[in-house]
Structure 1
């Protein structure tokens, strides 16, 4: 294949979702239409799968993102900037067998396009005529649209506007067959409302209704709604949201008949400036409307609010309102509306006749990073569906049941109760709930402060539970009163531990208490290690470890689940007296116990019925260890897993490998990271899927959070007041989103329940912030973003009709400043640099477990920093040492200093080998060329546009210094990106160096070796060539790819273009442009390649605000 035959084909798009629409097909299927860059994607949602099913994709515009979508009458109206298009829904939706295969032979749908004279903010089809629509533009204009189904053409009418203020948002609503209501939000905080009438002969007329002021910032979102109150009166409202973080509801009900003009009124003026005057001429607005205030106003979100939508009614004179913010959250509000009778007839047209109050109901944190750019809503009989799309390229679908008159604080179909409801008729008024635990999803066992034992039946999430008081013998009521721990060991049994040191067994079948054991001390907690039936012929057993107050030693019991009889028991001995046990796990005959101060102890079973410590280690945390559980073993293995997962109150979870050696047992840290929901992790479990997934739960501020770490998705959020309270959780390992959570707050018990996940991810996403750096080792891609997080992805290429995808296998957030560079060294090491002279070494390994998460641990931290530690490590290069001892790391700092270190994994040590200083220009790129005398010869690039070659000379002691050997100019200013590749396969061959600059140019430089002797090797520049104006903006990333004899260069720029270049293989020839394509990635940061040089195709990945993969074929 020659270079001219190579094509660029987009294989994966993870761009920001800028437009959304929902459509319920006649077949009952739910489809999500999404705009990503210039393409329209269609997914099928609510199909019983965890993710939405990809249906189709079509390019709507050229080099123009889609900003809005409206679906009506079997047609899709899409717009972006001043472009508008109409597509048939039928041509986009394939009513096939529901498989994931993509029919590439299907004919492209017909698209009708037109160009409006101004930026389009909203569009809406007429309810009566599917060939008529109206567009709202940035200057408060309405543009009639006529679509011919026969010719497939769009005809735009004359612009209609009563006035022309600059808008940041607009919303259209057809209120009759010939009338459109237009609401616009201006740059300076005004809300402008007017009507557009269709007259005979195709003419239009306008009528100005209202001009409200009150926002202290620009208005970014609008919505219009009509509600019928209990007195049968109708109120029409418009909602507005702004960068002042407020949502305001305005009454736009017309109460006076006005004669409207017969021609567009273009002479009306609105004074600019926040708090400016109203419309001054034309259809003048009454003085009462000038003084209008909103029905209701509320402040929400942590930053700007991009959108607002009215939801369905939620009781008498109430409806829900949803807001969508820069903080990447969706918030639900309850709007209660009432009449202000005191106003009476004195001012019948005043908005004060209607008053309202907004209260916060719920927050959905389903996206990463920042910005919910798009949203869509579909109200149905029993639920309202809300779709959201953000910068993270993720599409979430929330299913909210139609709310009753009583607001709910729960999740989805949850039920919230307090103790006064539970204890009604059963106990005295002064009695309170003491301890409790769930036996199963349907039963909860509760003790009270007066020694009563209650069994709750929780069959239905939305119904009142039934309570039964268990008959406790009089002699045991005092013991139940002293109960400090209730621990379920099976769906049919639980153990009660008392402060007097007694353990009792409760059987669900007999509903009776049985004494199990007594011990010296106050029982503070019990941990169920397992409840599996090891031998089918014997009764099922539960292994339990009992913790005592003020004692390091604990008691182990193997208990018959059905009778409570003890089958075996042991005691832990030999632990440090300061050891306070808080969590435990068991692997084979080893017991692993964690302490309040972060210590782990491994104990082995001895012949004298004791467990004695064989290893004590201090973890990287001094916070309480909250849970210890084994990882799932590898399928087909006859042995249990040798890995344990440990969660902690420091917000991190860790995976350790138990290394059993003949004479000792070692514990190796294999993985350490902190999920984003912290700062406290209370526990975890693995799902029972074919490929187990890790689910964590814990507390974030006042919320209890359930988090799927494998998918990086938040499953549930329950407001409970925070971590310092009694709580219990029961969950399903097979049904995602099925749980019950009980907690005590102000001596009251609340139970939140969910039988299923009330939201789903139609499309998975990536970082929610700009990706600044990429690195690939062939199998995995590492990305570093402005949110300081690093993620490792496994790329799943398109094949067998399936779409390409990225699967997150690890996420780390240790840096505190923006990432500058990532680099792999083989498959085992990943290096990262950032500001504040942060440089980390990550050890990456695969676990021998069915759990497919990648284990990553920070093995080394660079500590040789300057006095102020305020420099940025601009670039670095790594290679293995020539004597196989350690790793050579060369860093280029923002103060023009070069340093080379030898890194050794033993202790994570950095040993300084050489250093040097460039001119006043900042070093931007650093590369190793070869090793001479165990030190690298370097190539650097800098902000002055020069390339430089360096060699080392002996300096004081054992250290060396870098000396400039040759320097050449290439670019007019900063060299932002660089890649190099061997010119041939020989050891002494030179390099092709491909560079991209801030001057919009790409350059190729040939390097050759003067001497191939390892002791005297040196390099020189042979030839330089450059293409000026290669892009229209700075070039953020370049890449060299070899395909057969052809050497190709790929460049990506901030002009949102990717270009393919033919690179001359010798000193003769020039750079030649082969291809250029538009991309959806804005503010591109870096580029990387997947696939080896021997394959026929290579996949190029580039990222910035979004991520795309293009295949060279």
Structure 2
């Protein structure tokens, strides 16, 4: 076992460690989540559902109880001498099996800060029964490493109920009494307690409360610690519950009246004979005692947790806070308040409120499954969540921020603003007043700079914070500048019209050494004019003088929304790039060094359309990398960030263009000085968002009301985050932080089931996965590591592709590795061009979309295969023949020519070559066999069919993953699509074929080995022989029934070697199923023998995968140089093959999965 990313099902903070459960594995991190200390496999196949800290010694040794399903196991962790430097040593006790599914385990009762004599605790089961869990040793001796010291015994304390529970929680009332809260599948909550004697020989149980009110199953219950309220002398206790009705409710359980005695072995829930089997019982219950009801989550709520602050010395415990998480992949912090209105509750009763304080959405897809919370020494609440996306994320509340609201007169609203430093900004009001705002003190301190009538009613601003300069203009055409050095505003230029926009950029002359000789490039656009003016300004004391000026003749209807001057050693003369409101980019070059008198020396050299069409280009950033090919990064209000290759003598062309997860108003970007990551900012609904595009991490989010307002943003140079100032509801507001909103302990992936996987050829380290969340993710794979670089180990997501609107069905890389093909529902078929881009990282462009052939494209493309023209290299023509099968039993074949490599710009990338119809069954798989003129398809009727496609291919040699193949015939491009008809079909499986893999025998071009897996739990090995495309092939099949215990959903074939006797080829076949088993088969093929006489199959080994609902697999390369297999489904996992070298010597290998 090499690596896994599966849902995180349990989290806990244990001493100096953060422990996380992924399937049967326990991941160990340091408490802050900055360093990995390795992992342990706790159970063979069972996922871990909970972790309980049992004891911690003075030497910081830890004993942790892990449970999942009916299994329990003790783990001892010893940090050793070099604490924090080495991985802790561990000892695992034997696995103990209980009589029923365990829902919760109470931590051992602690008296005066230490455990009582002996180790004993209580667990509650899914049928509302209690179990006593004891360590078989009299005392849990942490000085011993014997496994027997960690053995457990389990015995039943109470009788189980007939009704199954969905949730339960345990809380100690005393050493001999425990309180139980149970939530049922029918929306009922039962609160009861159990009292035991010293040796637990006798127990007494009583029902105290029976709550109804939820309109759905109870997914989470939590008993609060005792706290005190004003007006109440005795401590209070409440119960929180959550349900799939999306509500969170609070119940009063301060008093525990004994309603029913269960000591006689009665069924606790069976005592209520008249309750209905559906929601809303018709019996008397405690529904009227609901203290508060709150809505917040957009879907089902899975769990709630209380967090009580440590009371100050001499004070009583206060009302705890509540944290919830759910299916919407968010965690929410709730503040429980004491309502003064107690009349509705009656004398002595509580009246509480439940208010939402914060929503944290740091996971992708659906479902947060686990949480750990802790109070920090400074009183802040630390929340750590683990999701279905396998990510572990930590955030702290409240954050260290400056938040200030500055009231302003309603008749003098702020019109524009810009930052002049990290702590100051300039704002121009409606009356023409220029103000300087300073927020070093935590609030905005205003100072008046000037009163300018030119700025009445309208103004626009731009600034250079590095120099402390700001420029502003209004209706008259005068452009003012002001410096922090204390001068009055000076007129630096005058234009002949009302100024539409100012765009200022810091430049450096070619003979300068850094900041000592700066220049400022200022682009000025005018209302109703097709000319823009460009100035090069030089700071001189507190004022600015301009060195040169020239006009930019804009294209027709070109409204400038962004501008950027470029000067470096590749562009020794000035180049000005401007972006338009319609999404285009214009580039102006100087023929001669510009001067005040020479305005004719500027020419427009290029106009690039459709960069962000039809929305505005909001920002431009030039990447002066040390190479001949520079790059230009742009953002737009279409929600995308794009990168254009910017060679000095060639046209611009896109190398990256993808939508960001926020938007559509992406307003700007900058490069982080510490990490060199590209940071983008803009608006998502009513929030302003700062986002790291390289790590796909949200840095900050501010509720501001949306994008239609006056605002300015200044990135922080001291840390993460920045300062955002905006105008909202006649007030100026400010938010500033130097902290990132969350810390990623372990990176994740998809938050939904992964349906497709493809590993790029070559180093086989770049993996593409597609999921039901409609996204495609690119991962760089490396083996699991420990230490500070643990975040970079395993699967590291390097890019997220967001364009599909349906779940991904299949992915495939081209043989050259430059193209990725994807398909899904609604006849979606996309072609992506992938490559490395400076600063951006992995650059991706969707360069073509296959046109739909039907008026209502509701069909799903079930599978596709393609053949690539041989000899393709970077920059040369890339052409493919692509065959697709659809859910309506049709087949289509296209010729695809990459627009980036085509010599004819007007040529359409996709040309339909042929169509065909099978029967009435859905086609599920397809693959090219023999040559590109033969296609095999699989369907839901258990048959495979063979289709000759000779006349639809293009002349030349084509390659797949197999060795080179023979030439094929051609059809004219202007001919009508041909009709495909299958020549042969043969039945292999009893029902649907779920997976198909094939390999060509190296010594026989006309023979293929085909591996299939079906709904009938069987796998089939078929030899396909075809003398010519026109003749029906001969198919011989060896079927292995009951190969798995469930449907076979994924398979892979890997050639190993030629046998020593020279008689045939060896293959490794890997299959996976919904039974969560991976099996490895050794296949020997002697093509000289007839039929299946030359095929021998032997199972080498099998292993259990922690990936549920396996839907795909592919072969991957490992760092050790050996091959492995990657399995995807609900998560992803990599297995390596040991001992492949033994296979070449006559089948002597006893292989295994590791």
- TM bucket, shorter chain: 0.7 to 0.9
Q: Pick one of 836, 840, 843 that aligns with 1:846.
A: 836
**RMSD (CA atoms):** 3.0
Aligned equivalents of 2:665, 2:620: Cα separation in 1: 17
Displacement of 1:488 in angstroms is 3.9
| Equivalent in the alignment of 1:594 | 579
Aligned equivalents of 1:783, 1:647: Cα separation in 2: 26
Aligned equivalents of 2:295, 2:890: Cα separation in 1: 49
Q: Closer, same or farther in 2 for the Cα pair 1:695/1:97, shift >3 Å?
A: farther
SS at match of 1:500: coil
| Equivalent in the alignment of 1:17 | 8
Displacement of 1:237 in angstroms is 0.8
Q: Pick one of 936, 940, 964 that aligns with 1:943.
A: 940
Q: Closer, same or farther in 2 for the Cα pair 1:94/1:576, shift >3 Å?
A: farther
Q: Pick one of 987, 1012, 1018 that aligns with 1:995.
A: 1012
Aligned equivalents of 2:947, 2:627: Cα separation in 1: 56
Q: Pick one of 705, 715, 718 that aligns with 2:689.
A: 705
Aligned equivalents of 1:1063, 1:990: Cα separation in 2: 15
Which deviates more, 493-502 or 591-600? 493-502
Unaligned runs of 5+ in 1: 1-9, 26-30, 281-286, 402-411
Displacement of 1:317 in angstroms is 6.6
Q: Pick one of 75, 90, 96 that aligns with 1:114.
A: 96
Which deviates more, 485-494 or 222-231? 485-494
Aligned equivalents of 2:246, 2:1082: Cα separation in 1: 51
Residue 1073 of structure 2 corresponds to residue 1053 of structure 1: yes
| Equivalent in the alignment of 2:394 | 397
Q: Closer, same or farther in 2 for the Cα pair 1:863/1:293, shift >3 Å?
A: same
Aligned equivalents of 2:766, 2:171: Cα separation in 1: 49
8 Å contact kept, 1:40–1:60? yes
Residue 551 of structure 2 corresponds to residue 568 of structure 1: no
8 Å contact kept, 2:1018–2:1041? yes
Displacement of 1:1019 in angstroms is 7.2
| Equivalent in the alignment of 2:1039 | 1026
Please give the per-residue CA displacement for 1:869-901, whole angstroms capped at 9, x wherever unaligned. Answer: 222221111112479883111112222222222
Displacement of 1:1055 in angstroms is 1.0
Larger RCO of the pair (alpha carbons < 8 Å, separation 6+): 1
SS at match of 1:292: helix
Q: Closer, same or farther in 2 for the Cα pair 1:199/1:800, shift >3 Å?
A: closer
| Equivalent in the alignment of 1:361 | 357
| Equivalent in the alignment of 2:667 | 682
Q: Closer, same or farther in 2 for the Cα pair 1:1041/1:709, shift >3 Å?
A: same
SS at match of 2:343: helix
| Equivalent in the alignment of 1:516 | 492
Aligned equivalents of 2:454, 2:1001: Cα separation in 1: 86
Aligned equivalents of 2:685, 2:976: Cα separation in 1: 53
Displacement of 1:806 in angstroms is 2.0
Q: Pick one of 441, 462, 467 that aligns with 2:422.
A: 441
Displacement of 1:997 in angstroms is 1.2
Aligned equivalents of 1:108, 1:146: Cα separation in 2: 20
| Equivalent in the alignment of 2:535 | 557
Q: Pick one of 454, 459, 463 that aligns with 1:487.
A: 463
Residue 521 of structure 2 corresponds to residue 548 of structure 1: no
| Equivalent in the alignment of 1:745 | 728
| Equivalent in the alignment of 2:563 | 584
8 Å contact kept, 1:171–1:183? yes
Aligned equivalents of 1:929, 1:96: Cα separation in 2: 59
| Equivalent in the alignment of 1:647 | 635
Please give the per-residue CA displacement for 1:129-150, whole angstroms capped at 9, x wherever unaligned. Answer: 3612111221222222212325
Displacement of 1:593 in angstroms is 0.9
Residue 656 of structure 2 corresponds to residue 671 of structure 1: yes
Displacement of 1:109 in angstroms is 1.9
Q: Closer, same or farther in 2 for the Cα pair 1:94/1:491, shift >3 Å?
A: farther
Aligned equivalents of 2:1044, 2:26: Cα separation in 1: 27
Aligned equivalents of 1:733, 1:1001: Cα separation in 2: 61
Residue 1107 of structure 2 corresponds to residue 1070 of structure 1: no
Aligned equivalents of 1:558, 1:98: Cα separation in 2: 55
Which deviates more, 813-822 or 741-750? 813-822
| Equivalent in the alignment of 2:400 | 413
Aligned equivalents of 2:559, 2:240: Cα separation in 1: 56
Displacement of 1:800 in angstroms is 9.4
| Equivalent in the alignment of 1:823 | 812
Q: Closer, same or farther in 2 for the Cα pair 1:601/1:954, shift >3 Å?
A: closer
Displacement of 1:799 in angstroms is 7.1
Q: Closer, same or farther in 2 for the Cα pair 1:656/1:988, shift >3 Å?
A: same
| Equivalent in the alignment of 2:826 | 836
| Equivalent in the alignment of 1:536 | 513
SS at match of 1:228: coil
Displacement of 1:745 in angstroms is 0.6
SS at match of 2:543: coil
| Equivalent in the alignment of 2:215 | 216
Alignment of 1:273-352 (within 5 A): 273-274=277-278, 276-277=280-281, 290-312=286-308, 319-338=320-339, 340-342=341-343, 348=348
8 Å contact kept, 1:550–1:580? no
Residue 899 of structure 2 corresponds to residue 886 of structure 1: no
Displacement of 1:162 in angstroms is 9.0
Aligned equivalents of 1:753, 1:874: Cα separation in 2: 49
Please give the per-residue CA displacement for 1:718-739, whole angstroms capped at 9, x wherever unaligned. Answer: 1111111111111136733x21
Which deviates more, 1044-1053 or 486-495? 486-495
Aligned equivalents of 1:603, 1:57: Cα separation in 2: 57
Residue 854 of structure 2 corresponds to residue 859 of structure 1: no
TM-score (norm 1): 0.88
Q: Closer, same or farther in 2 for the Cα pair 1:574/1:430, shift >3 Å?
A: closer
| Equivalent in the alignment of 2:146 | none
Aligned equivalents of 1:259, 1:966: Cα separation in 2: 73
TM-score (norm 2): 0.85
| Equivalent in the alignment of 2:1112 | 1086
8 Å contact kept, 2:637–2:667? yes
Unaligned runs of 5+ in 2: 57-62, 142-148, 312-316, 568-573, 593-597, 872-876, 900-906, 953-970, 1059-1065, 1087-1092, 1139-1154
SS at match of 1:140: coil
Q: Closer, same or farther in 2 for the Cα pair 1:261/1:327, shift >3 Å?
A: closer
Displacement of 1:492 in angstroms is 2.3
Report the count of equivalent residues.
1036
| Equivalent in the alignment of 1:614 | 605
Q: Closer, same or farther in 2 for the Cα pair 1:1071/1:107, shift >3 Å?
A: farther
Aligned equivalents of 2:543, 2:911: Cα separation in 1: 61
Displacement of 1:834 in angstroms is 1.4
